Structure 1
Amino acid sequence: MNIKNGKELLKRCSEENLTIGEFTLKQEMEESGLSYEEVYGRMVENLRVMEFSTTKGVGEKVISVSGLIGGDAYRMGKYLDKGQSVSGRVMVKAMSYALSCSEVNASMGKIVACPTAGACGILPAVIMTMKEEHEIEEKDLIMGLFASAGVGAIIAQNATISGAEGGCQAECGSAAAMAAAAVVEMMGGTPEMCLNAGAIVFKNTLGLVCDPIAGLVEVPCAKRNAAGAVSAITAADMTLAGVVSRIPFDDTVAAMYSIGKVMPEALRETGIGGLAGTKTGKKLKKEIFGSKNGKSKNKMNDDTFDGEKEEKEEE
């Protein structure tokens, strides 16, 4: 998208009297040379995959290839059915859908990487929860997805969406900011409000490290997806209530990027530091891949994880 930053995005939306979703769709048409129907249709295809990935794990127990995660979305679904949740239907449903996407991803199922596979549960969970709990029509869901794409493009252009480069603040943080903007657009908020919601999310996720157990996108990733979905919804609610971020969106993106650049390598998707470096984290890794000279106890093998730095430290 040929827009430099959030400030310019708001200016263009104002000049052309478009929402962020409408502007993003228009930009995609111009850059790709595709028709409105073709661009819109592709987003509908994404929505269909999201529908599948958010519900599969709720309807049945989906177990990851490694066995590290699985069945939590199903448990959340059963919990929701009891009607006794502390945080209410919207939050519990969003969490269950986010967990489902993560479980489908870890079991080699089909997901939409929005913006990454590691954060694939946040935006779909929020979108599908809005559809069911607020009866949002499909055309509005699609425009919400385009709004999220526009916000994601700004983040990727000015910072990073990669956990290996910026930590989980760059993956789950970006996904939650995109989802928050989508909610605000779907609920009739202005472009300014969409970016306010994204800014609030980033302020609450700055510094979040990427420390996957055994280098796999499972623990703590799945539960961070659930938390990211909740963060998006709460930020959207604050914004729709009239709460304004004192730090503008572009500044929060810049802050996220600067923090990511000074974040230690061990905390950027290497599977070495943070939770991965704990006693339990290392134990789980050995259980999955086996000892260096031994056989794996799982379907996965030692070649799956390139953790030579940690192996040397343990010797």
Structure 2
Amino acid sequence: MKFRTLEELLSLCEQSGRSISDIMIENQAAESGNTPDTEFMRMAEYYAVMKEAVQKGLTQDTTSRSGLTGLDAQRVQKFNEQGEACLGDIAGTAMAYALAVSEVNASMGRIIATPTAGSCGIIPGVFVSAQSRFGWDDEHLVRGLFCAGAIGYVIANNSFVSGAEGGCQAEVGSAIGMAAGAMVELRGGTPKQAIHAVGLALKNTLGLICDPVGGLVEVPCIVRNGFGAVTALAAADMALAGVRSVIPSDEVIQVMYEVGVSMPEKHRETAQGGLAQTPTGKRIIDELRRKDQ
């Protein structure tokens, strides 16, 4: 890749007058040795899987093997349709769709890890709901995935995207930043605004621990995906309105790394701390163990 930081990515965009997605498609093709069209077609296949997961989560039984989770996306969607939701149309739908994909993952369905399975609902939740709201074609959303990929590439190479390494700030936080920056581009914002959206999003999740109950990617992972989709939309709106990340986004990514390194091991996907070690969390773990015996 010709960039390693968001600042370098922005410089490439401004020098060439092209979008983040344009730069990423070109760089991805150069790195893989494939044509840009081939890379685009592959990404289009990924987006099709995302949409399938949303549909499955909203229409099929997604009860997980543990019995801890399932069908919450359908509950939220039904509530949205009643017109009583505080969030309104697109945010409420994004939340329901994010839950849907995460529940498909928990029930062993097919998803795209963006950037991880634990955060797989955020980008589909944001993208598919926005496509429905704004009437965008698939090609437009696929370009958005390349924008998200460029942001994720920078985060992964300068910090973490793994909960085991950096806590949930690394998984859910990264996905929120990727979705927020991509949404800015999809809405016609500038590369600079997209980069600001990343910083705004990541700052809101710094220090978020990874504490899966029973070591399963279910509680609290799934609901964090729902909240994450809403946060991504909020960060995108702030950036499009002209709100800046006063701390440069690359510096925010560096702070994410520093926080992740200093985070206790029990708060990094070990199920030895946080919600996993509450009285209820311990009881659930005991029940799961008895089931497996």
| TM-score w.r.t. length of structure 1 | 0.91
Q: Any conservation in 2 of the 1:162–1:171 contact (CA below 8 Å)?
A: yes
Q: Secondary structure at the match of 2:119?
A: coil
User: d(CA) in 1 for partners of 2:121 and 2:277?
Assistant: 25
Letter in 2 for 1:181: G
1:105-136 superposed Cα distances (whole Å, 9 cap, x missing partner):
01110000000000000001100011001212
Question: 1:100 corresponds to which letter in structure 2?
Answer: A
Task: Report the CA distance between 1:137 and its aligned residue.
Answer: 2.3
Partner amino acid for 2:31? E
1:234 aligns with 2:234: yes
Aligned partner of 1:287: which letter?
E
Q: Which residue of the partner structure matches residue 177 of structure 2?
A: 177
- Distance in 1 (alpha carbons) for counterparts of 2:176 and 2:65: 26
Equivalent pairs counted in the alignment come to 293
Give distance in 2, aligned partners of 1:109 and 1:18.
Answer: 37
C-alpha contact 2:44 2:139 (8 A) present in aligned 1 = no
Whole-angstrom CA distance in 2 between matches of 1:255 and 1:36: 34
Tell me how far 1:245 sits from its aligned partner.
Answer: 1.0
Q: Is the 8 A contact 2:5 2:250 kept in 1?
A: yes
Counterpart of 2:120 in structure 1 is 120
Whether 1:108 aligns to 2:108 is: yes
Using the alignment, how far apart are the partners of 2:276 and 2:25 within structure 1? 40
Match of 1:160 in 2: 160
For 2:178 and 2:192, the matched residues in 1 are separated by: 14
Instruction: Tell me, yes or no, if structure 1 residue 17 matches structure 2 residue 17.
Output: yes
Between the aligned partners of 1:271 and 1:2, the Cα distance in structure 2 is: 38
**Does 2:107 match 1:91?**
no
How far does residue 174 in structure 1 lie from its aligned partner after superposition? 0.1
Q: Distance in 1 between matches of 2:17 and 2:142?
A: 19
Q: Could you say which residue in structure 2 is the equivalent of 1:286? A: 286
Give the distance between the partners of 2:37 and 2:21, measured in 1 at CA.
Answer: 15
Aligned to 2:262: 262
Cα deviations across residues 159-193 of structure 1 (Å, max 9, x unaligned)? Answer: 11010000000000000000001100000111111
Alignment TM-score, normalising by the size of structure 2: 0.98
Q: Is 1:130 aligned to 2:130, yes or no?
A: yes
Whether the 8 Å contact between 1:58 and 1:76 is mirrored in structure 2 is no
2:207 aligns with 207
How far apart, in 2, do the equivalents of 1:37 and 1:22 lie? Answer: 12
Q: 2-side partners of 1:62 and 1:162: how far apart? A: 25
Q: What is the one-letter code of the residue matched to 1:80?
A: N
For residues 234 and 61 of structure 2, what CA distance do their matches in structure 1 show?
Answer: 28
Equivalent residue letter for 1:197: A
Could you tell me whether the CA contact under 8 Å between 1:213 and 1:271 is conserved in 2?
yes
1:274 is displaced (CA, Å) by 0.2
Q: Distance in 2 between matches of 1:37 and 1:5?
A: 25
* CA RMSD across the alignment: 1.0
CA distance in 1, matches of 2:289, 2:16: 55
Task: Give CA deviations for 1:271-294 in whole Å, capped at 9, x if unaligned.
Answer: 11000011000101111122xxxx
* Letter matched to residue 66 of structure 1: S
Instruction: Kindly provide the CA deviation profile for residues 14-62 of structure 1, in whole angstroms up to 9, marking residues without a partner as x.
Output: 1122111110001011111111221000010011000011121112331
Q: Which residue pairs with 1:36 in the alignment?
A: 36
TM-superposed CA distance for 1:204, in Å, is: 0.5
**SS of equivalent residue, structure 1 residue 39:** helix
Supply the AA of the counterpart residue of 1:212: P
Larger mean CA deviation between 213-222 and 89-98 belongs to 89-98
2:210 and 2:33 mapped to 1: Cα distance?
37
CA contact (8 A) 1:61 1:73 kept: no
Give the unaligned 5+ runs of structure 1: 291-295, 303-315
Alignment partner of 2:173: what SS? helix
Structure-2 separation of matches of 1:18 and 1:286: 55
Which deviates more, 19-28 or 54-63? 54-63
**CA distance in 1 between partners of 2:16 and 2:65 (Å):** 48
User: Residue by residue, what CA displacement relative to the aligned partner does 1:278-315 show, whole Å, maximum 9, x if unpaired?
Assistant: 1000101111122xxxxx2xxxx37xxxxxxxxxxxxx
Q: 1:200 Cα deviation (Å)?
A: 0.3
- Which residue in the other structure is 1:53 paired with? 53
Contact map agreement 2:77 2:96 (CA 8 A) in 1: yes
- Say if 1:136 and 1:186, in contact at 8 Å, map to a contact too: no
State the distance in 1 between where 2:9 and 2:262 align.
Answer: 28
Query: Structure 1, residues 191-221: CA drift from partner, whole Å, max 9, x if none?
Result: 1111100100111100000000000000000
Structure 2 matches for 1:53-72, cutoff 5 A? 53-72=53-72
